Structure 1
Amino acid sequence: MKTISKLSLFLAIIASLLVSCEDSASDQNGEVSGETGKTKYVVTVTTGASGVADYLLTADDVSTGSITTAGNGLEQDGTYRYYLTTQNKFFSFLYGQGNPGAVTTYGLTTAGQLTKTSNFQSETVQVFAPVNKDIVMVKVPRSGASISYMYKVDAEKSLLTGTVQHDTRLLVGNKNPDFAERAHFTWATQVGDKVMMPYMKIAGASPDTFGSRHADSTWVAVYSYPELKLEKVIKDNRTSYLGAYFTNGLFQDENGDAYGFSGAIGTLNGVLTSTKPSAIVKIKKGTTEFDQSYFFNVEQASGGHKISSTSYISKGKFLLLMYGNAGTNTGAVKLAVADVYNKTFKWVTGMPATLTNATTRYNITSEDGNSGILGVNTPDGNWIYSINGTTAVATRGMKVEGGTITAIQKLKY
């Protein structure tokens, strides 16, 4: 591991990030809001049209009514946007597809209006997660260079505060610069005072850069914080890697335990190489090892389906996006609720017969903590749905017109 010097960090800020923060926007009272108890929902929508950016729509209530992009909302700069809400701020990350990206910050005025408060150019990152009052962003190499850059951003000030680099080849035991295989972080999660980063081992070269020769094991790199120093790697052989590209697969619950979700969908040259079941594993609070007494075989419980993406509701209830064709990440989209405490599995009822997709990576928990609220897109229209974590019953809410729902978040004002 190398930690960039103060001079290098200064140059990185100037040359790589080209920080150009805007002054905080203000309402008629001259202030950007703090938390005063009221909730504003932020719904992101993409039209899918070439050259047309994503829209940010806001609503006081998403349980009823309708909303549209026509003459409404904030239009963002550029497509391929990904989102995170932390410290009562809404962050929009532009994926530059090999080019520099951007991080745009939004907040609510005291009148409840969504307004841009900061915007800076950055490297395109594939991982971004809240840690304490910061955001950890990670640029993950997939081929060519092997160095992964980890950036720390003060979430309250939208300001870069540090950069650390790691060689991803070392996480696969590879010190040969001519050997392409490397680790690829799927996401990052704060667990206690550590940052845990699950990863998959990928080929790292054509013809199948993301192909895996090691799809039957689970790895998590454990880093100290704020130093982001690698402390250890923990491994399990009962399922496959956690999460997937751009997909979180590790969550901490209210008790401080962490649960990992594996789709077991690793392939090499288009052929499924994962032979282990799609499953859930556990890391007990205060430990940095997998709990060998815990294993939830979701593939068996679901009748052969595999986990695609996951989000946490509360009290051990997780919302799962799954696909209908066993053994692949294709087929009919299906939603389910898994109770990791009791190892129970329920298919969601009350949904449309055919789903195009659902925003399980970017959704929220209801105010009472009992339900997950997400966007659901279908051939017949797009709606916000609430899914009860206990009964797994879905209730249809607001209709969203003018584009496909990509995320739903909430802020306080």
Structure 2
Amino acid sequence: MHHTAKTAALLLCSLILCCFFSSCHQQEKEDLNPSKKKYSIYILAKDGKEYLLEIDSLSSGTIKPEDRGALLNGEVMDRDVIVHEGYYYHLSRKKASFEKYKINGKQLILVAAMPLKDFSIENCKWIAGDTLLLTGLNKADYTQVKYLKVNAAAMTRISGGDINIPHPSGKFTSISIGFTELRKDKLLIGYSYNQQLGASNYSTSDTSYVSVLQYPEMTLLKTDKDTRSTSPGGINTIQSYAFNDEKGDYYFMSCPGIALGNRPELPTGIFRINKGDQAPDKSYFFNISGSVIQNHAYGIWYLGNHKAIIRSERKDLFKGLSDHYNTAHFEFYVIDLLKKDIKKLALPLDKGTRRECIIVEGNLAYIAVNSTLHGNYIWIYNITTGTLRKGLQLAGDTDFIMRTDKLN
């Protein structure tokens, strides 16, 4: 009898342990599932800490990142994060590893990783479902254009290698990739060449280039040159510079201002590549610097119906690049791409040089504004009525709203 009881007790123990490990394993598996929240917000705090917040509404309320956010390790995460379907993707330069994360509660959890050596990401594009195309440069001297196609669900390499775009020559020392656009079996890459002027100063060629590659073979077919402006687009993991409209026309902004191309004598302008074409339309150029704005701009977000929002600097309010980031001097304008009309939005002056700060959903645009005088808010712009109202406030330790993204 004693032996039977002992056996039963052992069986019960092993059953409990089995259930425990099974539930732990189940919990672990569940924890790696994508977040179901709608939006994510990246915060730089006053003490230099960084937080990621996940939230379902931007319409109202107040949030303190120190209460609700996941505190980030600066060596692991940065604002050039790729946010997609409940996950965060980021290149760890230190580990030469492309990594996939999610947030559990207030923790950033590593889901998967794959090696990615000698690669500096300049642009990303989701091709279909979980296929991610990264275009970038070699890390040694930023002269070789490279690509990597990733299955982001499995975190495995589909293909990758060098792209045969000519290396910089003469006085030019590096390349900047501004956009990548896939049109059936052709990949369009917009770029310019840079000239190093000092330890932390550079300038840009006076020409924008758009190369056409056969896809997926990545063989170079032809290159278009355009001298109407330079520095086409920018690093789109930090800010948006291009979009397709309803018709399938592709628009991109050039950014020759001091914070990107550093050729301020050239105009910030918007180019268009018409549907079915492979080079910018020579008859279309929207000169932003030559308009009532009279300044440079960085970042463009499409509202639909030929309208977009741009974020432009006020050169009368900052002295140079040293205070470009900290000084509130940015204004938001709604522009009509066809009529070339421009209307300033009645928002507080914004600070932070390059930010992913606008989410467009249906009839509403959620605009993150870092105001020195009025606090950090998500403002809600009604595209139809043209009205603005304050939405969610980012309070507490918030210094900058660095980026806002649709998480799902």
| TM-score (norm: length of structure 2) | 0.76
Matched, 1:376 2:373: no
Distance across 2 between alignment mates of 1:314 and 1:105: 31
Aligned 8 A contact 1:189 1:195 in 2: yes
Q: Tell me whether 1:253 sits opposite 2:248 in the alignment.
A: no
Q: 1:309 to 1:209 in 2, by over 3 A?
A: same
1:156 counterpart = 2:171 = no
> Is this contact kept in 2: 1:180–1:204, CA < 8 A?
yes
Contact 2:239–2:355 (Cα < 8 Å) also in 1: no
How many pairs does the alignment contain? 366
Pair 126,400 (structure 1): closer, same or farther in 2 beyond 3 Å: same
Is the CA contact 2:270–2:288 (under 8 Å) kept in the aligned structure 1?
Answer: yes
The whole-number CA distance in structure 2 between the counterparts of 1:184 and 1:68 is: 36
Shift of 1:257: 0.8
Of 302-311 and 327-336, deviating more is: 327-336
Q: Once the two structures are aligned, what percentage of the paired residues are identical?
A: 21
> Is 1:294 paired with 2:310?
no
Consecutive unaligned residues in structure 1, runs of 5 or more: 1-24
1:311 maps to 2:304: no
- Once residues 141 and 32 of structure 1 are traced to their aligned partners in structure 2, the CA distance between those partners, rounded to angstroms, is 32
What secondary structure is seen at the aligned counterpart in 1 of 2:68?
coil
How far the C-alpha of 1:273 sits from its partner, in A, is 4.1
| Aligned residue identity for 2:250 | A
Q: C-alpha separation between the residues in 1 aligned to 2:197 and 2:95?
A: 22
1:92 deviates by: 3.6
Once the two structures are TM-superposed, the CA of residue 299 in structure 1 deviates from its matched residue by 2.0
Query: Radius of gyration: which is bigger?
Result: 2
Deviation track 1:161-217 (CA, whole Å, cap 9, x = no partner) reads 22111365x155x4x7xx6534321333334543322212111574566312x22x3
Classify 1:229/1:302 alpha carbon distance in 2 versus 1 (closer, same or farther; 3 Å): farther
Match of 2:19 in 1: none
Is 2:382 the partner of 1:388? yes
Q: CA RMSD in A?
A: 3.7
Q: Which amino acid is 2:124 matched to?
A: A
SS in 2 for 1:188: strand
Asked if the contact 1:320–1:335 (Cα under 8 Å) also holds between the matched residues in 2, the reply is yes
2:11 aligns with none
Correspondence for 1:165? 162
Amino acid at match of 2:195: A
Structure 2: gaps spanning 5 or more residues: 1-24
Structure 1 contact 235–290 (Cα < 8 Å) conserved: no
Match of 1:62 in 2: 58
Counting only pairs closer than 5 Å after superposition, residues 12-411 of structure 1 correspond to structure 2 as: 30=30, 40-47=38-45, 49=47, 52=49, 54-78=50-74, 79-86=77-84, 88-94=85-91, 96=93, 99-100=94-95, 102-106=97-101, 117-120=111-114, 122-123=116-117, 125-133=120-128, 134-141=131-138, 144=141, 146-166=143-163, 170=166, 174=169, 181-204=173-196, 206=198, 210-212=202-204, 214-215=205-206, 217-244=207-234, 247-265=239-257, 273-325=263-315, 330=324, 332-349=329-346, 351-352=347-348, 354-357=349-352, 360-361=355-356, 363-366=358-361, 369-380=362-373, 381-390=375-384, 392-401=386-395, 402-403=397-398, 404-411=400-407
1:3 — aligned with what? none
8 Å CA contact retained: 2:150, 2:157:
yes
Q: Using a 3 Å threshold, how does the CA distance of structure 1 residues 267 and 361 change in structure 2: closer, same or farther?
A: closer
After TM superposition, give the deviation of residue 320 of structure 1 in Å.
0.8
User: Which one-letter code corresponds to 1:125 in the other structure?
Assistant: S
Query: Greater CA deviation, 66-75 or 138-147?
Result: 138-147
Deviates more, 1:202-211 or 1:159-168: 202-211
Tell me the TM-score normalised to structure 1 length: 0.75
Using the alignment, how far apart are the partners of 1:26 and 1:60 within structure 2? 26
Opposite residue 159 of structure 1, the aligned amino acid is: T
In the aligned structure 2, how far is the partner of 1:394 from the partner of 1:141? 44
State the 1:322 CA deviation: 0.4
CA shift, 1:275, in A, is 3.9
Q: What letter corresponds to residue 85 of structure 1 in structure 2?
A: V
Whether the aligned pair in 2 keeps the contact of 1:89 and 1:105 (CA below 8 Å) is: no
